[in-house]
Structure 1
Amino acid sequence: MLILFQLQEHPHYKLILTANRDEFYNRPTAQAQFWQTAPTILAGRDLEQMGTWLGITKEGRVAALTNYRDPKQMKFGKFSRGAIVSNYLESMDTAEHYLEALRKDKLNYVGFNVLVGNPNELAYYNNIEDSMTAIPPGTHGLSNHFLNTPWPKVEKGKKKLQEYTLNREKIIVEDLFQILSDSEEADEKEIPDTGIDKELEKRLSPMFIALPDYGTRCSTVVTIDNNNYVTFSERTFQAGEQAYEVNMEFQIE
């Protein structure tokens, strides 16, 4: 998973958020929609555990999650990490209170990073180093380590997002999808060492991943302007080829 976002930095948008969700192709997933079980939530859904990786509500609650890559952490957790996002979106709790409660259960989950909040303020938590922080205004990136860890895909994505939004009054969704579609592998000397095979690490280094059995399953673009108007667009891919597209717009209630 890769999340690139700009918080309270653009003169016309409170939040610009883009993300690629990477997963095994055979894991059953529903494309983004308002959930029948929770009609205020707009998100895709993991049909294996019934959680999600990224979503927004009609009230403007926002949450997104990435896994923390560390082979030593690859064990079964008591709880599904996807529930972290859906539980926040369904709750009425503040971001701070939600994360304080979550950290009490941190050992029940395999390693994760989570962003929770709203277009005005976001908070970040990682259960490996048990770090919780309010995210300052600016352009940020999160992959499978910590917030703003300078992995090649994170640094490239942040640079592209910042350059694109600079002096641009209106954000074009298609242009953000183009940023997310970058499939160039990182230079070998820049690839991080996370404990997995170096060749696999290299093949996981692009922003958009397309391996034989694993890769980017969907790309999502969310913008929330200063009038609290939301645009949500998501493209679903099958083995690197676009299969579906969802476009939603609504006013935060």
Structure 2
Amino acid sequence: MCLINLQFRNHPTYKLIIAANRDEFYSRPTAAAHFWEDEPHILAGRDLTQMGTWLGVTKQGRIAALTNFRDPTNIEAATFSRGAVVKNFLAASTSPKDYLRSINPKDYAGFNLIVGDVEQLMYYNNIQNKSYEVPLGTHGLSNHFLNTPWPKVSKGKESLTSYMARTSTVDLEEIFAILSDAEQAHDALLPTTGVSLDLERMLSPIFIKTPEYGTRSSTIVLITHDNTLTFAERNYENGQFKEDRLFNFKIK
């Protein structure tokens, strides 16, 4: 997952809105969103190489989403796949704070994590090994820290805030349109993360499309004040639309 925009407890209809893109190599085997056979309460896509996930929910209303932390100068061998961090939270019943305290930050390459439910969301970064409660409002997360103002983060937050301010009921296509914005940022706005300028440009849009790497799926999670959860996933193959998945259920 390379971009997560969310609005938390700041709308008259929805407790939580998540609009996120997962960017990955096209060749990495992936299963579209489904209720897992081995963990039937988990709804998520699945990385078929390590069997973890990047974003998921449960029938009980647990939520977890992850992005990688981009720092090419600090790459170390990791014991476990980062996708296990999301999977393990969704499979557990411990509180978000207790779960974050159980993570050994040295077991994984750099990541950001958001975990919780509609009452409380926690943010954690294993590079700093720090966590805090996500405040009410609109937030954005890419491959640095929460709300670091990279162009795609700022643009995504502004677009989501603007749209939600003028609607009482979400049109999924409007949010998918936000997530499909492939405009590259101006060079003057690009972050410096240790990769080449050409690569910074290619990674700067909300929707990424390169010959071998790009946005594989867009996911929208909506939870209303009566705890009805909508999970919509749009999948892409080599940058082209492939299929949609849609799930609706009442949180138990």
Q: Do these two structures clear the TM 0.5 threshold for a shared fold by scoring above it?
A: yes
Contact 1:29–1:44 (8 Å) recurs in 2: yes
Structure 2 match to 1:141: 140
1:59-98 matched pairs, under 5 angstroms: 59-98=60-99
- Cα deviation for residue 12 of structure 1 reads 1.1
Structure 2 match to 1:53: 54
Contact 1:95–1:116 (8 Å) recurs in 2: yes
1:252 maps to amino acid:
I
2:48 maps to amino acid:
L
Q: Distance in 2 between matches of 1:223 and 1:109?
A: 29
Structure 2 match to 1:17: 18
Q: Distance in 1 between matches of 2:212 and 2:75?
A: 19
Residues paired across the two proteins, number: 251
Gaps of 5+ in 2: none
2:75 maps to amino acid:
M
The one-character-per-residue Cα deviations of 1:132-177 (angstroms, maximum 9, x if unpaired) are 0000100000000000000000000000000000031111111110
1:120 maps to amino acid:
E
Contact 1:73–1:110 (8 Å) recurs in 2: no
Q: Distance in 1 between matches of 2:177 and 2:141?
A: 18
2:219 maps to amino acid:
T
- Cα deviation for residue 190 of structure 1 reads 0.4
Structure 1 match to 2:222: 223
Structure 2 match to 1:154: 153
- Cα deviation for residue 5 of structure 1 reads 0.3
Matched, 1:201 2:200: yes
Structure 2 match to 1:130: 129
Gaps of 5+ in 1: none
Q: Distance in 2 between matches of 1:119 and 1:173?
A: 20
Deviates more, 1:166-175 or 1:7-16: 166-175
Q: Distance in 1 between matches of 2:166 and 2:24?
A: 35
- Cα deviation for residue 72 of structure 1 reads 2.1
1:147 maps to amino acid:
L
1:11 maps to amino acid:
P
The one-character-per-residue Cα deviations of 1:9-54 (angstroms, maximum 9, x if unpaired) are 0111000001000000000000000000000000000000000000
Matched, 1:237 2:236: yes
3-state DSSP of counterpart to 2:174 = helix
3-state DSSP of counterpart to 1:159 = helix
- Cα deviation for residue 73 of structure 1 reads 2.8
- Cα deviation for residue 120 of structure 1 reads 1.7
Contact 1:217–1:238 (8 Å) recurs in 2: yes
Q: Distance in 2 between matches of 1:226 and 1:248?
A: 17
- Cα deviation for residue 75 of structure 1 reads 3.1
1:38 maps to amino acid:
E
Structure 2 match to 1:30: 31
Please give the TM-score of this superposition, normalised by the length of structure 2.
0.98
Percent identity, please: 52
1:160-199 matched pairs, under 5 angstroms: 160-199=159-198
3-state DSSP of counterpart to 1:73 = coil
1:185 maps to amino acid:
Q
Contact 1:20–1:218 (8 Å) recurs in 2: yes
Q: Distance in 2 between matches of 1:240 and 1:25?
A: 9
- Cα deviation for residue 74 of structure 1 reads 2.6
- Cα deviation for residue 244 of structure 1 reads 1.3
2:133 maps to amino acid:
A
- Cα deviation for residue 76 of structure 1 reads 2.7
Please give the TM-score of this superposition, normalised by the length of structure 1.
0.98
Q: Distance in 1 between matches of 2:235 and 2:75?
A: 26
The one-character-per-residue Cα deviations of 1:81-135 (angstroms, maximum 9, x if unpaired) are 0000000000000001000111xx1011100000000012100000111220000
Structure 2 match to 1:117: 116
